Amino acid sequence: RTLLAVLAVVLLTGAQLGEATATSAVATRLRLGHLDDYAPWGARQQRQADLIAEADGWPRYRTDPGREQTVGNDPMAVGGQGAQYYSSLTADVLSRTLTALGDGWTSRGRNLQSLDNAVTDAVFSVGARVHSPPDQHQRWNPRDHSPATVTRQDVPPLVTVRPA
């Protein structure tokens, strides 16, 4: 009788561990299917960084890396001062405010997108904006090999930046 009880406990424990392992594996696989996938640094990123450096007018105006992102934090990777921002600590009020202005986001609101809009560009003093084709590293994007370009517009000065 003791042997049967021990065998039952071992079988129950094994079944629980097996079920937990299988559930974890399936959940991880499904989660990985929803993550963003970005290409390593290459020609696209270098071209984007070069265009931003050429167009840079800080602090007279901001230069936005563009709506078609290379990574979640494009301004940190390729330069510029755009609205793209990724952080697990992104404030809900910031996400909601930018969404109300027409902004988009991914990663459950943690990754804000660029506001590609002439009105918000004027409000946020974006005087130069890079326009890139969709990232070809993303297999679901349409195949587009057109070159990246820069558009410019006159914008009011930044009111939050004061000369030294």
**Does residue 158 form part of some domain?**
no
Q: Which of 36, 68, 42 is nearest to 133 (CA)?
A: 68
Strand 62-64 with 126-131, pairing: parallel
What are the tens digits of pLDDT across the range 33-62?
Answer: 777 677 888 888 999 999 999 999 988 899
**Does residue 164 form part of some domain?**
no
Starting at the earlier edge strand, list the strands of the sheet with 62-64. 62-64, 126-131, 149-152
**Does residue 82 form part of some domain?**
yes
Beta bridge partner(s), residue 64: 129
User: Does residue 81 sit in the same domain as residue 20?
Assistant: no
What are the tens digits of pLDDT across the range 95-148?
Answer: 888 888 888 777 777 778 888 888 889 988 999 999 999 888 877 788 888 999
Domain range enclosing 86: 43-152
Torsion of CA 95, 53, 125, 84, to 10 degrees: -10
What are the tens digits of pLDDT across the range 70-82?
Answer: 777 777 788 888 8
